[in-house]
Structure 1
Amino acid sequence: MVTAIILFQLAIVLSLIFIGARVGGIGLGIYGMVGVFILVFGFSLPPGKLPIDVMLIIVSVITAAASLQAAGGLDYLVGQAAKFLRRHPHHITFYGPLVTWLFCLVAGTAHTAYSLLPIISEIATSSKIRPERPLSVATIAASLGITGSPVSAATAAIISNNLLGAQSIGLKDVMLVCIPASFVAILVAAFVQNFVGKNLEDDPEYQRRVREGIINPNEDAMKMQVAESAPNPHAKRAVWAFLLGVALVVTFGLFPQLRPQFTIANQTRTLSMPETIEIIMMASAALILLVGKANVEHAVKGSVFGAGMNAMVAIFGIAWMGDTFFSGNLPFFQTHIATVVTQFPFLFAVALFFMSIMLFSQAATVTTLYPLGIGLGISPLALLAMFPAVNGYFFIPNYPTEVAAINFDRTGSTRIGKYVLNHSFQLAGFITTFVSIGVGYVIIAFAY
């Protein structure tokens, strides 16, 4: 009887996740809250922990990133990347994804990928390199940049005091494990992609588009206009202000002894990492607006701010629903599956992978499932090595970065296959997932 009730609750949770994902935007949060209502009022489960730290970190980081966008800083960064990539056109399959990954790693958001993907596509096309090769890896690299970024919502979630932060896993651990793991995974995927598909000039779809005049092989590659030729000096200062904030976050994460200490009621405590990120990034936003001469109204109207607030609402509902369900039924999971998952931790990585497909969010996946992993007694270091598994939403080719990459490829080499799931991003996605998790396990085996 108990098993049937829990399975029924799980069916409700998964159904609401599916509905929320289909609605999109704040739909995940809204329908997640419907799930909280049903679980609390219908099944009398105690409400789970609210992901307050994660939500506030998202607000602070997105405010800084949105201010950077308003000051023209994102355009400036993209322009500098374009200059570099154009100087190395024949290595675009390696450099394109690595630059995309680096930008997302520093900015904490995958939105920079939308500006870089058309550049990568045009450079590859003009160099007679099949655009599918760099575009497929670059799209996946954007996600990998999030799982390792010191200022991403996903990293904030995993090191929060509700999750691995309480297990003595901090920012330096995430960076030490995930950054090299992602870097190696991207190189491996890029190497393999160099052998995928026919050469561009031999591709039937490309030949058809040339014959019909859709593509002119002799036309100049798309130009980056102002971002490359005449960068805004205020934008450059805004970038330095943003990077200063990121550098401070990294410094205080790597050296916790530098953080202020307080004595309250005869108890001494150190400023927590979530509080540190929130204070620094909100203060950085003020500095960015000041030196970048940006209009604060433009910051809140930009795409970065809107997407960030959507993420916060989504996490508010979906993560609270997930924690309510798993925490309320934790004794059942500990009794029935703890032994199996502890002996075969990769099964939890599989669960992370498939949950991310439904949630379309690394941070939401972390806040939804990681409490269960901790409750089941899985090693915190193993959970850290599995972090890249939350990037599984490439599996179904409807994520915005994938759709954008397909549309930016004028040659038609980046595509969705006849059976939908046989698309251009599948191979690169699985390679980077397996390699990054594997390298992560190697790092924790030797470094801890």
Structure 2
Amino acid sequence: MTEHALVVRARRALTPEGERPVSVAVDDGRITEVLSGDDAPLTAGRELRLAEDEVLLPGLVDSHVHVNEPGRTEWEGFASATRAAALGGVTTLVDMPLNSVPPTTTLDGLRAKRAAAEGKLAVDVGFWGGAVPENSGPDTTETLAELWDEGVFGFKSFLSPSGVDEFGHLSPEQLHTAATAIQAFGGRLIVHAEDPGVLAAAPPAAGREYADFLASRPDAAEHAAISLVIDTARRTGVRAHILHLSSASALPLIAQARAEGVPLTVESCPHYLTLAAEEVPAGDTSYKCCPPIRGAANRDLLWRALRDGLIDCVVSDHSPSTPDLKDLDTGDFGTAWGGVSGLQVGLSAMWTEARGRGVGLAEVVRWMSAEPARVSGVRGKGSIAPGLDADLAVFAPEEAVRVRAGALAHRNPLSAYDGAELRGRVRRTLLRGREVGPDSVEGRMITRT
């Protein structure tokens, strides 16, 4: 009988065939066998047997993380972000191209990212490129092709100001130019969809009342921008992806586009699916993000769309900053940095909300593992199946968790989930069959190819 490097035995495991008892054999960092039963006849140099209250999950894939290194490493960084990811069961993340300096909009920017990440990764990390005015003009799109050839997973663009000067937003004409170029080489265009005209016409955000901030980012801004993205995808054929959908008002547009065969995918985030505008305390700017957390009725519609498959996946949009930029002393939603830090707690938050809605753990994990891997083009991840990387998480779904922002591995002690009582704790995370510890730096930089 072949002796494997590792066998993981679990009475409950989430596999493509459903939840079942399994024995998982691992060799050279990959899953080589998945046999039914936690007592299947396999031998190994190492064996890990899960406790009765634990479930074996595929490692999560978070395709929307702002690591911010280099340039704004005091906001986050590869070491802290990947440690937080591992503690939350995330074994692969894809880093967004902005908030770092330089942004990932040129080959030099991509190389700077890779150099900054070297030797710091607790989990695997890939990179998005960026589509900005400088590389989305009629004579400048060759930079997009160069980044694609270097293995970025696609191209992020903004339709409204991004919040940082070095990453400009695209006009409708520039969006069309970029989409045409990206479609020509088979790439993917991912879009922060808020319309700048609608935002400019809305009342400005100011003060401590969350309702005033919410009024400054109305549903109509997402609706108009998503309509533009759909029209651009329809006319160019580019694979388009809507980032961090917060407004349910756009769901009929998305459904119609899908019915027409427009190549469109959609993500949402745990904070839109677990938090509600009515519950945001006055002056608590840890809840500020763009687009904003909306009302409870809107949240219910997002859950329906998620269960119906209209929303493909759930990812964190982890967008941290230093405490001073959150203006916690004044609680002014108009001036505070917009971004929620949720990388480490996303699975627990989603599972807590899901179990209250009668949604199974298998669905939650699919939305946070297999689906983001599929949508972003990350290969070899997202499932417990032979031939894939042995990226696994050991999850205790009934364990109570009280979130303390200061105890999270994120660089700065800020979280909209601070003080929350959640269910479900990740007890171990394995990357290619090896447990990720506090000092692990065995993560790899991955590419689309």
TM bucket by the smaller chain? under 0.3
Identify, as 1 or 2, the structure richer in strand: 2
- Give TM-score, length-normalised by structure 1: 0.22
Which structure has the larger Rg?
A: 1
Identify, as 1 or 2, the structure richer in helix: 1
